[in-house]
Structure 1
Amino acid sequence: MNEKVRLGTCNVAIVGPYLSGKTTLLESLLSVTGAITRKGNVKDGNTVGDSSQEARDRHMTVEVTSASTQYSGIGFTFLDCPGSVEFAQETYNALMGVDIAVVVCEPSNNDANGLHQKVLTLAPLFKFLDDWEIPHLVFINKMDRASTNFMDVLHALKSVSSRPLVPHQYPISQGEQISGFIDLVTEQAYQYHAGAPADPIPFPHQLKEQEHAARTEMLEELANFDDHLLEELLEEIEPPQDEILQDLKLDLGADLVVPVLFGIAEQDYGVRPLLDALVREAPTPETTAQRRGITKDADVPLAQVLKTYFTPQGGKLSLVRVWQGKLTDGIVLNGVRAGGLYRLIGQQQQSVNEAGAGEIVALSRLEGIKTGDTLTTNGNKQQLACAAKMTPVYALAIAPEKRNDEVKLSGAITKLLEEDPSLAWEQHGDTHEVILWGQGEIHLQVALDRLRRKYNLPMSTHLPQVPYKETIRRPASSIHGRYKHQSGGHGQFGDVYLEIQPLPRGEGFNFRDTIVGGVVPKQYIPGVEMGVREYLVRGALGFPVVDVAVTLTNGSYHSVDSSEQAFKQAARIAMQTGMTKCEPTLLEPIAQIEVSTPNEFTAKVLQLVSGRRGQILGYEPRGDWQSWDKVTAYLPQAEMQNFIVELRSLTLGVGCFEWHYDHLQEVPNKIAEKVLATNSNGG
C-alpha cells in the first residue's frame, strides 16, 4: 500500500444474515482494489475472510476478519462480520468502531413469503444500527438468483427499517439475467463485465418509466431532509447532480437515509460502484468521532478495542480503532507497553510504524486489555460506550478428557472469553460442574474447537445437571440424636433433641437454640449447628436442603467424654432421623424470561412456553420495536436447555430471550419421581 497517496480513511463493517455472501463480497473488494492477486472462494476454504479453521470447517464466519486496502486514495479497512445470530456479539462489537456499515442481503428466489422471511432476519441488525445511529447502506447480493422485482425487494426491506431506504441504482436485465444498472443520480446506464469495470451504454428507453419512478422515490425521500430540493421538485426543476450527491452524503452520514445498491459479488458485478459510493458518500472519521461524542484533546491518543485474537504465531492481538491522536510502535496504553503495530489482511500482518486518527490497526501483547476497553496514554479513566453484552442462553458442562489438564483449564477459558465476550463460565457450587455458557450449540462447539486446537485441551461435554433443591412440607419435634463412642482413653458423647420446621420459600436456613439450665453447654452448641448444616448439603432426597428452621431444644452431656465434634455427630443423626418424617419434597429453579419475537410468531411462542411447563405472565409490544412483542413468563430451568433452539426455529432465527433466576418451586410429582429415580441410579 503506497502511503504517500493515501488521502483519507474509511472503516467499513460488512454485515448481514448468514449465507448472504459477505465473505465473497470482501474477497471481491480486495481483488478489485488490488490487495489480493487471486480471488478465493468459501467452498475451497481459501478466502481472506473465514481464515480460521473453525470457520472453514463450517463454511461460515465465526469471528470478525479485518482487511485493509486502498481505493481512489482512500485507505479502507473492511471488517467482515458473522451473520449467524449466535455470533452477533462479534458483529455488534465491530460496529462500534466503524464509519459505515454495508448490509449485505439477498433477494428471494421463490415467492413473496420467501422474500418476507429473508428481510425479517435483518430486523435486529437494522435496529442496532439505528439505535446507535451508525450510517449504513444496503447491498443486495446474488441478483442473478432473484425471482422478485427489485422494487419489491426494496419495499420489503423498508418494512424492517426505521430509516427510509432510497434506491441508488436500477437494474438492467437481459431475459432473466441482470446485465447492468442505471445510476439514479446521473441516469447513466452501465453494462457489467466479469472481472472488469462496467462500461457506459445508451439509456435503455424501455426502462424509462420504471427508472423514473425509482429516481422520483429517491429524490422525494431526500427532499424530506432538504427544503431546497423539495422546492425544486415542487417547481419541477431538475436538481443538479452535485446537490443530489451532497444530500446523499449528508443524510447517509447522519443516519437519516439508507441508500440501496446491488450486484453479484461472486462475479465482481456492482462492487466498483459500491466502492465509488463509499468514496463519495461515507462519513469521514472526524464525523464518526463527533457522533460518538469524542471532543477531547486531539493530541492525546484515544483508541478502543474492537476484537481480541490469540494467534498461534504472535500471541495476543488487539484490533483497535484509533479515535484521536496517534499510535506508535511500543506505545504505552493504560499502563501496558504494546508490542508491534500492524495492518491486517486476514491473518497476514503488515507492520507499520504509526497509525493516525480514524485507522483500525492491530496491537500485539496488550496483556490484561479486553475487548471494549478504552485505551489512552494519560491515565484518563474515560470509557467509551460499547455494545451491551448478550445474555448467554445455552450451556454445556465441560471437563478435560485428560484429568491432568484440569490445572490448565481456567487459564485457557480466560483467554477464550477475551476473544469472545459473549461466552461465560462458572464452577457451579451445587453440581460441582464447570459450565460453559454461550449463544447456541454452534457457538459452544466453536469455543470447544478452539480449546482443543489452540490450547491442546480436548473436552468431554454433557448437558448440565439441574440444580434441584429439597425442602420439607411439615414440622417434626423432639427428634432425638445420640452419639456415643467408646475406645481407649476418653470416649465421645453427644445427645440432642431438635425441632425441625418448614420456612416460607426463599427464607433459606435458620438455626437457634432454646437451651436452659446448661443441659447442652454453650461451647458445644456451634457443633450442633455445624452438624445440621453439614447434613443439609445432601438431604433425604439427595439434594441440598433449603427453607428449613432447626431449633435445639434439649440434650445432655458427659463432663469428660463430650466434645463439639460429638455434638456435631449427634446433630447429624437427629437430622437423618427427623427429615424423613417431615415429608421432604423436591424443588426446581424457576427462571423469569423475557422473549422478544416478531408479533406474527407471538402465538407460537406462547404455545412453546406453555408446552415447557412455563407460566405466562403477560405480553406486550416491545418498546420501540415495530411489530415486535415481548412475552414475560416463568420457565423451569430444566426446560430451558434447548429453548433457544426451538425459539429460533419458530421465529426464522430472530427470536431471542433474556433470563434470570427468580425462585424455587415444587416439582410436579410425576417429574419428581423421574428425577429421583435418575438420581438414585447415579445419573
Structure 2
Amino acid sequence: MGQTMRSPRGPRCIALVGPFQSGKTTLLEAILARTGAIARAGSVDAGTSFGDSSPEARQHKMGVALTAATTTFMGESYTFIDCPGSIEFAHDMHAALPAVDAAVVVCEADERKLPQLQIILRELEDLGIPRFLFLNKIDKADARVTEALNTLQPASRIPLVLRQIPIWNGDLIAGYVDLALERAFVYREHMASEVIDLGGGDRDREKEARFSMLERLADHDDALMEQLLEDVAPPRDAVFDDLSRELREGLICPVLLGSAVRENGVSRLLKALRHEAPDVAETASRLGATGSDASAYVFKTSHLQHGGKLSLARVLNGQFRDGDAIHASSGEAGKISGIHALISGSDTKRQQAGPGDLVAFGKLDAVKTGDTLSNGKAMPAKLVEVLPAPPVLAMALSAADRKDDVKLGQALLRLNEEDPSLTIIHNAQTHDIVLWGQGEMHLRVAQERLQERYGVAVKSHQPSIGYKETIRKSVTQRGRHKKQSGGHGQFGDVVLEIAPMPRGSGFTFGERVVGGAVPRNYIPAVEEGVKDGLAKGPLGFPVVDLTVTLVDGSFHTVDSSDMAFRTAGRIGISEALPQCQPVLLEPIHTVEIVCPTEATAKVNAILSGRRGQILSFDTREGWSGWDTVRAMMPEAEIGDLIVELRSATAGAGSFTRTFDRMAEVTGRLADQIVAANRPAAA
C-alpha cells in the first residue's frame, strides 16, 4: 500500500536555500534534468548551469541573485527559487521566502557552516515556512548520518527527523532506505534510483531507524504513541499523513539524503514535496491574503536591457490578465503590459495568471519589491514587510568619463530597485556618491553590473571620513575688506568674538553691535561669511562647536554692501581660527556585533586592534551559541571591519552601528590624518 492518491493541487513554489557552496544551484539543475525541463544538468564550475547564469555569477562561480524556474513532476507544476547562499546577497532570499509554500534547505555536515545554517533555519522558523533538509554530497560523506544529524541539530529549534538511512557498500554509500515507505533503493548516477531487496543487516538498521522516526512523530500524535507502546505497526498512510501534518505545522524538519551532482535522491525529494508540501491556499492564509480581489506579492524587480522593467510576483488568489489595471499597497497604480512565466528555463508569455503561479508582470514602473498588487478597485493592504539588512561596507563612486554622470545616476537607481540592500548616499560635504552594501563581493558585483549591464565605467575609492575640527581658546579678531578700483569700491569691517562651546553644540552666531557700527541689514551677510570660513578650518575640516559674536565694526555709506560684509566676516573668522588652538575631531560610533560564540574571542581581538573600546558582551537573546558584542569605535576603523569580521566568523557575523559623538584626536595620529587630507584638499 503506497501513498494516498489525490488530485493535483495546482502550482506550488519551493525555495532552495542553504549556506554558501552547499549545492543549491546544482540541485536545481538535477531537478530540471530529472523532470525533463532541460536535456541535461549543467555545471556551476563549467559555467553551463541554468541557475547562476548572469555574467557576474559565472565569473565568481557563486549565486549573486535568485533564479526561478518552473517545471512539472507527475502532472503537477512547481516553481523552484534558487536563493544565493552568501550572506552578502541574502536580500533576495528575504524577499522571496514569504511567497513560497515550502523550502528545501540544502546543506552538508560541516560544522564550519553551522552558523550560516542557523541563520537560514531561524528565518524559516520565524516566517512559519515548512522546510525539508536535503543532506547533500552524501557520496562524499565521511561520517555516519546519525553523527551528521547530531552535528546539524543545534542549528534547528525543531527536531531534524531522519527520513532515510544510507546503504553502505564498504566505505561508500550505494543507496538508501526510505523509512516512511519501507523500501530500499540503490543509486544510479544521473538516473532515478532502483528498488532493491533489503538485506538482513540493513533490515535491522531500518527497523531501529524507523522506530526512532515514529517516536519523533508520536510526540505530537497520541494515537501513534499508543500504537508504539502496544507494539502495533501503524498504517503506512497514517505515517505519511503525520509527516505531512507535522511538517506543515512546523513541528519537525524531515531530513532526506542525496548527491545533487550525481542526481541521487532527487526523485524521492520531489515525491516528498508532492505529497507533503502545502499549496498556495495555505500560503495565502499564512500571509493574510483572504480578500475577494485577486492579489499577488512582488518579491523581485528586474530591468532587462531591451525588455524594460519586470516585477516577479507570486499570485496568491484570483486571476490577473494581461492589460489589467492594478493597485499597489504603496498607493501606486499601473497597467500590466505582458505576463511572463519561466517554463523550462525560457521566457514564455501568457494571457493570465492564477493562484499559485509565479510570473513576471511587465512595465509596472511604479511598483517596487515588497508591494502587494490587486486588480480590484481599492488599494490592497501590504502583506509583507521586507526590510534590507543595515549596510556594512561602502565605496565612493564617480563616472570614469564625466559625460556619464547622469547615466551613472540613472543606473544606480535601477540597481537599487533590483537590490534594495544597496544604499545610495550623496555626501554633501565631499560631493561623493557613496554606495553602501552588504560586503566586499556585494559592492564588487554592483560595480560590475554598472559596467556590463548599463555601460557605465566607474572609478571607486574609499569614502571620506567625517572628520571635523573645533577650538579650545577664545579670541577677538577684526576682519576688514577694502577694495577700490575706480567707481564704487568695496568696504566691510567687522570685529568678531570667537569662543569654544561644549561638544555637540554645533555653531551659533550672535551680535552685540551698538551705535549702528554695522547696519542691521548687513548682519546676516556677516553670518554667511563666517559660515563660509567655517567650511574648512586650519586643519582642513569643517569647524564645529563654537560661538561667534559680532561686537563692532564700521561701514561706508557708498562702498559697503552685503558682499563686502560677507567677505569681511569670512576674513575675520579665517584669521581668528589658527589663534584658537584648533583640535581635530573624529566621529565615534557605537557598534553592535553578532557572532557565533566560538568566534567571540577573535572578534574582541579585532575590535581592540581597531582602537575599539569594548563596552559589553553577552549571549544573543533567543540565539543558542551566539553572542552580542558592543563597543565604541572610531568611524575610520569601521571602514573594512566587515571583511575581517566575516573572515573570523565563517561568513556569518555582522554588525550595526550608530553615531555616538565626536571625540578629540591628538598627537601623531592627528598629524597623520591632517597630512593625509592635505593632498586631497589641495
Q: TM-score normalized by structure 2?
A: 0.96
Q: How far has the Cα of 1:7 moved from its partner?
A: 4.5
Q: How far has the Cα of 1:346 moved from its partner?
A: 7.7
Relative to structure 1, the CA distance from residue 346 to residue 56 in structure 2 (aligned partners, 3 Å threshold; closer, same or farther) is: farther
- Alignment partner, residue 440 of structure 2: 441
- Aligned 8 A contact 1:137 1:258 in 2: yes
1:491-502 pair list within 5 angstroms: 491-502=489-500
| Superimposed CA distance per residue, residues 264-311 of structure 1 (whole angstroms, 9 cap, x where no aligned partner) | 1112110000000000110121111112222222xx111111111112
What letter corresponds to residue 315 of structure 2 in structure 1? V
CA distance in 2, matches of 1:316, 1:204: 58
- Alignment partner, residue 41 of structure 1: 43
| Superimposed CA distance per residue, residues 68-91 of structure 1 (whole angstroms, 9 cap, x where no aligned partner) | 001122210000110111101111
- Alignment partner, residue 681 of structure 1: 679
| Superimposed CA distance per residue, residues 167-193 of structure 1 (whole angstroms, 9 cap, x where no aligned partner) | 011111212221111011122111111
- Alignment partner, residue 285 of structure 1: 280
- Alignment partner, residue 333 of structure 1: 326
Q: How far has the Cα of 1:65 moved from its partner?
A: 0.5
Within the alignment, does 1:255 sit opposite 2:254 as a pair? no
Within the alignment, does 1:87 sit opposite 2:89 as a pair? yes
| Superimposed CA distance per residue, residues 428-447 of structure 1 (whole angstroms, 9 cap, x where no aligned partner) | 11111111111111111111
- Alignment partner, residue 593 of structure 1: 591
- Alignment partner, residue 50 of structure 1: 52
CA distance in 1, matches of 2:551, 2:498: 10
- Alignment partner, residue 26 of structure 1: 28
- Alignment partner, residue 324 of structure 1: 317
CA distance in 1, matches of 2:343, 2:52: 12
CA distance in 2, matches of 1:677, 1:235: 84
- Alignment partner, residue 486 of structure 2: 488
CA distance in 2, matches of 1:45, 1:494: 71
What letter corresponds to residue 311 of structure 1 in structure 2? L
Relative to structure 1, the CA distance from residue 474 to residue 209 in structure 2 (aligned partners, 3 Å threshold; closer, same or farther) is: farther
Q: How far has the Cα of 1:657 moved from its partner?
A: 0.7
CA distance in 2, matches of 1:663, 1:211: 64
What letter corresponds to residue 570 of structure 1 in structure 2? A
- Alignment partner, residue 429 of structure 2: 430
CA distance in 1, matches of 2:230, 2:499: 86
| Superimposed CA distance per residue, residues 445-494 of structure 1 (whole angstroms, 9 cap, x where no aligned partner) | 11111111111101111111112111112222x21111111121222221
- Alignment partner, residue 536 of structure 1: 534
1:73-472 pair list within 5 angstroms: 73-107=75-109, 115-297=110-292, 300-334=293-327, 335-345=333-343, 348-377=346-375, 378-472=377-471
Q: Mean Cα displacement is larger for which, 318-327 or 616-625?
A: 616-625
- Alignment partner, residue 61 of structure 2: 59
- Alignment partner, residue 582 of structure 1: 580
CA distance in 2, matches of 1:510, 1:383: 45
CA distance in 2, matches of 1:585, 1:328: 66
| Superimposed CA distance per residue, residues 134-184 of structure 1 (whole angstroms, 9 cap, x where no aligned partner) | 111100111111111111111111111111110011111212221111011
Q: How far has the Cα of 1:345 moved from its partner?
A: 4.7
- Aligned 8 A contact 2:37 2:344 in 1: no
Relative to structure 1, the CA distance from residue 29 to residue 180 in structure 2 (aligned partners, 3 Å threshold; closer, same or farther) is: same
- Aligned 8 A contact 1:170 1:214 in 2: yes
- Aligned 8 A contact 2:129 2:250 in 1: yes
CA distance in 2, matches of 1:641, 1:534: 30
What letter corresponds to residue 35 of structure 2 in structure 1? T
Relative to structure 1, the CA distance from residue 237 to residue 675 in structure 2 (aligned partners, 3 Å threshold; closer, same or farther) is: same
Describe the SS at the equivalent of 2:428.
Answer: coil
- Alignment partner, residue 644 of structure 2: 646
Within the alignment, does 1:606 sit opposite 2:604 as a pair? yes
What letter corresponds to residue 330 of structure 1 in structure 2? G
| Superimposed CA distance per residue, residues 102-148 of structure 1 (whole angstroms, 9 cap, x where no aligned partner) | 000123xxxxxxx3213332111111111111111100111111111
Relative to structure 1, the CA distance from residue 55 to residue 584 in structure 2 (aligned partners, 3 Å threshold; closer, same or farther) is: same
What letter corresponds to residue 626 of structure 2 in structure 1? W
Describe the SS at the equivalent of 1:681.
Answer: helix
The one of 569, 577, 586 aligned to 1:571: 569
CA distance in 2, matches of 1:670, 1:6: 74
Q: How far has the Cα of 1:202 moved from its partner?
A: 1.3
What letter corresponds to residue 210 of structure 2 in structure 1? R
What letter corresponds to residue 632 of structure 1 in structure 2? R
Q: How far has the Cα of 1:679 moved from its partner?
A: 1.5
Describe the SS at the equivalent of 2:502.
Answer: coil
- Aligned 8 A contact 1:329 1:339 in 2: yes
CA distance in 1, matches of 2:153, 2:371: 35
Relative to structure 1, the CA distance from residue 204 to residue 667 in structure 2 (aligned partners, 3 Å threshold; closer, same or farther) is: farther
| Superimposed CA distance per residue, residues 286-345 of structure 1 (whole angstroms, 9 cap, x where no aligned partner) | 111112222222xx1111111111122322211101111111112222221111112115
CA distance in 2, matches of 1:347, 1:272: 20
CA distance in 1, matches of 2:560, 2:345: 71
Q: How far has the Cα of 1:499 moved from its partner?
A: 0.9
CA distance in 2, matches of 1:186, 1:681: 74
CA distance in 1, matches of 2:594, 2:401: 41
Q: Mean Cα displacement is larger for which, 232-241 or 242-251?
A: 232-241
Q: Mean Cα displacement is larger for which, 75-84 or 601-610?
A: 601-610
Runs of 4+ in structure 1 over 4 Å off: none
Q: How far has the Cα of 1:352 moved from its partner?
A: 1.7
What letter corresponds to residue 670 of structure 2 in structure 1? A
- Alignment partner, residue 504 of structure 1: 502
What letter corresponds to residue 486 of structure 1 in structure 2? Q
- Aligned 8 A contact 2:313 2:361 in 1: yes
Describe the SS at the equivalent of 1:37.
Answer: coil
CA distance in 2, matches of 1:561, 1:186: 100
Q: How far has the Cα of 1:391 moved from its partner?
A: 0.8
CA distance in 2, matches of 1:120, 1:680: 44
Relative to structure 1, the CA distance from residue 49 to residue 208 in structure 2 (aligned partners, 3 Å threshold; closer, same or farther) is: same
Count the aligned residue pairs: 669
Q: How far has the Cα of 1:677 moved from its partner?
A: 0.8
CA distance in 2, matches of 1:292, 1:284: 13
CA distance in 2, matches of 1:570, 1:486: 15
What letter corresponds to residue 479 of structure 2 in structure 1? G
Describe the SS at the equivalent of 2:504.
Answer: coil
Which stretches in structure 1 are left out of the alignment for 5+ residues?
108-114
What letter corresponds to residue 555 of structure 2 in structure 1? Y
| Superimposed CA distance per residue, residues 603-642 of structure 1 (whole angstroms, 9 cap, x where no aligned partner) | 2212211211112221222221112111112221111111
Describe the SS at the equivalent of 1:82.
Answer: coil
- Aligned 8 A contact 1:440 1:645 in 2: yes
What letter corresponds to residue 474 of structure 1 in structure 2? K
CA distance in 2, matches of 1:40, 1:229: 44
CA distance in 1, matches of 2:531, 2:363: 48
Q: Mean Cα displacement is larger for which, 124-133 or 338-347?
A: 338-347
Q: How far has the Cα of 1:41 moved from its partner?
A: 1.1
CA distance in 2, matches of 1:668, 1:63: 46
The one of 67, 70, 78 aligned to 1:68: 70
- Aligned 8 A contact 2:37 2:345 in 1: no
Within the alignment, does 1:655 sit opposite 2:657 as a pair? no
Within the alignment, does 1:625 sit opposite 2:634 as a pair? no
- Aligned 8 A contact 1:48 1:345 in 2: no
- Aligned 8 A contact 2:9 2:279 in 1: no
Q: How far has the Cα of 1:6 moved from its partner?
A: 6.2
CA distance in 2, matches of 1:210, 1:594: 48
Q: TM-score normalized by structure 1?
A: 0.96
What letter corresponds to residue 193 of structure 1 in structure 2? R
RMSD between aligned residues? 1.5
Q: How far has the Cα of 1:38 moved from its partner?
A: 2.3
